[in-house]
Amino acid sequence: MSANNFDMPQSKAVVWHDLPDPRDPNAPGGARTQLVLERWSWEHILDKHVLPGREPWGDILSLDTFRNLRRSKSPANFGDPMVADAIARLESQVRQTLQRPLVLLLEVRRLGQSRPNPSRVWMLVLPSGAVAYVHERKKGNRLATCYFPAYSLVNSNRGFRWRRVASSLVLRYAIFDTQRSALLLPTPDTVRFSPRKGPVRELHSAIRFVTPASWGFCPDLEGCPWRGRLGEWSAAETATARSRRRLKPRRPRATDEDEQELNS
Amino acid sequence: MKVPASNFDPTGWRYELESALEAPELAAFDTTEAPGPEAAAAAFRVALCLGYCRLFGVELPADIDGTLPAREAMAAAEELIAHINVLVQEARELPSRWDTAPPGTEQEYCADLLQACMDSWAAFLAISEAHEDCVIQREPEAQEFDRVLDRLLDALDHLDDTLREPEIISLLATLAGSALLENWRRMLGMPDRGFVPWWLDGTLERESQRIEAESLAAWRQLQALGKVPAPKRPADLPTPSTIQRHSAAAILDIPVDVALAAEPADEAPPVPAILQWASPDGRWIARLSRPRQVPAGGRLPLEFLDSAWQPAVDLCGQPVWLAGQQETIDAQARASFDVQSLQNALPAADQPLTLEVGKERTEWQAIQSE
C-alpha cells in the first residue's frame, strides 16, 4: 500500500500516484496514472454511504476504523490520522482493482445539453464488492463516489459479493444473444441509448470491459460470450476446498410431469 | 444452434450454486441450535443461486439439484425479510440520492434497486418451492414455515408498494428501454413466459411514456407562452468531430443488382439492421431499416418518431439530408431516399453516413443500431 499524498492546498484532496492505467491496452501493464479524491467527494461518500451504517464499510476500512469514523466529529478532515488510515485502505482496494484489472470504461454523452464533449467514466469493482466511479478530468482523474449497491448488502460473503456486483454490471452493459444463449461482449462501436428523466437522454458509447477475461468473458470463444466464471481473487477471499452440501431430493412437480409428457 | 440443456449456464448460476453449497456455515443447520447470522446468510445465498437457476432454466446435475430443507429455507426467508426492510429504506431514499448523486451514477441506483427486486424474486422461488415441499410432506416445521412465508409475502408486497409510489417509480422508469431490462427479458424467454413481475411487464415503459408525454405537453405550453429558452446557438451543439456517426458501409453493402429478385437467396430476415439517430435535444428519433436487398422502387424509407415512438408529425415539411441527398419529411413523418443516389454520394465504406435535419441542417447523432 502506498502512502497517500495530501499535496493539494489545505488538504482539500488526496492524490493516489502510480496506479495502473486501465485505458492502456496492456493494462495492468503499460501506462501509469493517478487518481484524486477531493474532500467534497469524500464527504459525499461519508454522508450517503459510510455513516448511515447500512453498507458493510467495515470490509474496506476495518471494523475499528469504520466504528471510529461513525463516532468522529470530523470524519472528513484529511488531517486526522484515523481518516488518513481509512483513505489509505480505500486506496488499497482501488489499487487492487486496477491491478486485476476489473474496470468498465465508457463515455457518457447527455443529449439536450450544451456540452459537446462526452464524460468519460470508469467503474471499478473493488475486492470488497463496492463500486467506485472515476470521472476523467483534464486536471486529473477524480474518484466521484464509492458505494455498495443495494442488492449486494445482503451478501455477507465477500467472495460472492464482488462477483455479484461484476455480474450485475455485465448484465447492464453486455447484450444477451438469444441465438447463442449468451451475453456477448459489446463491440467497440456499440452505442447505448439511455432514456433519462423527462426529455433528457444519455448516450453510452465506447463501452470497454478491462480486461474481458477478468470479467468472466471468454475471449477464445466466438463472440466472446460471458460465462459468469470470474474465478478467484486473492484480494477478496481465500479459497479453500470444502465438501459440498446436498439439498433434499427434488420432488417431481406438476410442471415437470407436464413437460415430460410433452417430450414423450 | 441451440445449446444443449445440460450445458446451459449462460449466467454462471450453476457455478455459483456449487460454490454456495460449499459454505461451511451451512453445517450449523445440522445441529438443533438456532442458526446464527452467518448460517442464515449462507442459506440465503443458496436460495438465491437455486432460484436463479430455476428462473433462467438452468438444468442442474443430480448431485446439485434439489429442494432447500425447511430449516435452511426458513432462515433464508428471514434473511430476505430483513433485506427487504433495508431495500424499502433504500427505495425511500432514492429521490434524494438521485438529486445528490455524482453525474452518471443516478441511474445506477435505480438499476441496483431493480437488481435487488430480481434477487428477491429468485430467492422467493426457491423458498416457496421448499415451503410447498414441506407442507406436502407434512414436515414438523410446516406451520412455522407458513407463518414465515406469510411475513415474507407481506414484506414483498410492502416493497412493491413502495417502489410503485409515484416519485420512486418515475425514477425507476428511466430504465425503460435499457439493456438491463431487455437482457432479463431475453434470458427469461419472454414473451412466452407466463408470469413476469411488474418491472418486466411493461409497467416501467408505460410510466416512461406517460412522463415523456407530460414533459412534451409542458414544453408546448411553455412554447405557447413564449417562455421557452432561445434555441441553441450552433456553437453549443456537438461539433462534427464529436458526433457519433453510422458508417457508409450500411448503405454501400446493399446489393443493387438484385433489387427486383423474386425470392431472397436464403431465409435470412429481410431487414438485417436498423440504423437510428437522435436529434440533439433528444426529442426525436430517426430510423432507417436497412434491407438485405433494394426494395421495389429502389427507395429506402427513413421514419421519424417522437419520444412515445409515434410518428413525429411535427417534423412534417422539414428538409432532411441523408449522405447529402435532400428530401422532405412527409405527413406520415417519413422521407424516402433513392438507394442508387445514396450509394453514388458515398465514396467509401469507411466514410460517415450523416443525417441532417431542418433548415439549419442540424446533424443528428447516431445511436445504437438494432
- How many CB contacts within 8 angstroms connect chain A with chain B? 240
Provide the pLDDT for residue B5.
43
Both B197 and B242 in one domain: the answer is no
Domain assignment of residue B161, yes or no? yes
Residue B261's pLDDT is what?
39
Contact A242 B177 (CB under 8 A): no
Q: Specify if B307 maps to a domain.
A: yes
| Selected residue with higher pLDDT from A14 and B362 | A14
Q: Report, as an integer, the average pLDDT of A17-35.
A: 95
Output the pLDDT for position B197. 93
B34 and B182, same domain (yes or no): yes
CA distances (Å), origin A236, targets A77, A93, A159, A163, A170: 29, 9, 6, 10, 19
Q: Given this model, what pLDDT does residue B3 score?
A: 41
Average pLDDT of B315-320?
89
Q: Does B217 fall in a domain? A: no
Q: Are residues B150 and B252 in the same domain?
A: no
pLDDT tops 70 at residue B257: no
Judge whether residue A123 has pLDDT over 60.
Answer: yes
Mean pLDDT over A244-255 rounds to 77
* Domain presence at residue B219: no
Contact list, B44 vs chain A (CB under 8 Å): 154
pLDDT at A3 over 50: no
Rg (alpha carbons) of chain B, rounded to whole number: 27
As a whole number of angstroms, the distance between CA A216 and CA A229 comes to 5
The answer on pLDDT for B29 being more than 90 is: yes
Task: Sort B93 into a burial class: Cβ within 10 Å, 0-12 / 13-18 / 19+.
Answer: middle
Give the best residue of A172, A184, A227 to mutate against chain B (max B CB count within 10 A).
Answer: A172
Please state, as a whole number, how many other Cβ atoms lie within 10 Å of the Cβ of residue B69: 22
pLDDT at B341: 86
pLDDT of residue B2: 39
Task: Choose the weakest-confidence range: A11-20, B38-47, B249-258.
Answer: B249-258
Same domain, residue pair B62 and B176: yes
Flag if B21 and A203 touch (Cβ within 8 Å).
Answer: no
Flag whether B229 is in a domain. Answer: no
Cell of A97: 482493482
Over residues B260-300, the pLDDT tens digits come to 434 444 434 344 567 888 887 777 888 887 776 677 778 88
Q: Clarify whether residues B13 and B140 are in a common domain.
A: yes
Asked if B103 and A117 come within 8 Å (Cβ–Cβ), the reply is: no
Chain segment B329-369, per-residue pLDDT in tens = 988 888 989 888 888 888 777 788 889 998 888 888 887 65
pLDDT at A186: 87
Give yes or no: residues B121 and B191 share one domain.
Answer: yes
Contact B131, B190 (CB under 8 A): no
Contact status, residue B356 vs residue B315, Cβ threshold 8 Å: no
Residue B231: pLDDT band (50, 70, 90) is very low
Question: Which residue among A144, A168, A247 sits closest to B68, beta carbon to beta carbon?
Answer: A247
Average pLDDT, chain A: 84
Strand partners for B321: B326, B356
pLDDT at B163: 96
In A, minimum Cα distance to B205 occurs at: A195
Asked if B232 lies within 8 A of A135 by C-beta distance, the reply is: no
Give CA A168 to chain center in angstroms.
10
Q: Which pLDDT does position B199 carry in this prediction? A: 95
* pLDDT for residue B40 is more than 90: yes
Do B363 and B249 sit in the same domain of this protein? Answer: yes
Ranked by mean pLDDT, the top range of A105-119, A213-227, B179-193 is: A213-227
Summarize pLDDT for A82-97 with one digit per residue, the tens. Answer: 999 999 999 999 999 9
> β-strand A141-147 against A131-135: which pairing, if any?
antiparallel
The answer to whether position B214 is within a domain reads: no
| C-alpha grid cell, residue A103 | 474496470
Average pLDDT value for residue range A136-152: 91
Does the pLDDT of residue B110 top 80, yes or no? Answer: yes
Chain A contact probe: residue of B6, B11, B48, B281 with most A CBs at under 10 A: B11
**Whether B81 and B181 share a structural domain:** yes
More confident residue, A198 or B1: A198
- Alpha-carbon gap, residue B335 to B355, rounded angstroms: 12
The C-alpha atoms of residue A131 and residue A127 are separated, in whole angstroms, by 9
Predicted confidence at residue A194, as pLDDT, reads 63
Q: In angstroms, rounded to a whole number, what is the distance separating the alpha carbons of residues B115 and A86?
A: 29
Which of A143, A156, A187, A255 is the best substitution to test chain B (most B C-beta atoms within 10 A)?
A156
Boundary residue ending a domain (B169, B189, B208): B208
B220 within domain boundaries: no
Do B95 and B198 fall into the same domain? Answer: yes
B12 and A243 in contact by Cβ < 8 A?
no
> What's the pLDDT band for B168 if we cut at 50, 70, 90?
very high
Q: Do B200 and B312 reside in the same domain of the chain?
A: no
Between A17 and A241, the more confident residue is A17
In tens, the pLDDT along A46-85 reads: 999 999 988 999 999 999 999 999 888 888 888 899 999 9
* Number of CB atoms found within 10 A of residue B63's CB: 11
| Whether B40 and B80 share a structural domain | yes
Query: What is the tens place of the pLDDT at every residue in B42-68?
Result: 999 999 999 999 999 888 998 899 999
What distance in Å separates the CA atoms of residue A104 and residue A127, rounded to the nearest whole number? 15
pLDDT at A196: 56
Residues ≥6 apart with Cβ < 8 Å to B132: none
Least confident span in A189-198, A231-240, B134-143 = A189-198
Binned at pLDDT 50, 70 and 90, residue B114 comes out as very high
**Is the CB of B16 less than 8 angstroms away from the CB of A117?**
no
Residue B124, pLDDT > 60, answer: yes
CB contact under 8 A, B244 and A199: no
Q: Is the peptide bond prior to B197 cis by the omega test (within 30 degrees of 0)?
A: no
CB contact under 8 A, B101 and A191: no
Q: What's the number of domains chain B is made of?
A: 2
The mean of the pLDDT values for chain B is 83
pLDDT tens digit string along B232-242? 444 444 444 45
Average pLDDT of A176-196? 78
Per-residue confidence (pLDDT) for residue B81, from 0 to 100: 97
Is residue B197 located within the same domain as residue B260? no
Domain that holds residue B172: 5-208
Cis check for the bond before B105: say yes or no (omega within 30 of 0).
no
Per-residue model confidence (pLDDT) at position B237: 44
Quick one: pLDDT at residue A21?
97
Q: Does B170 map to a domain? A: yes
pLDDT band for position A259 (50/70/90)? Answer: very low
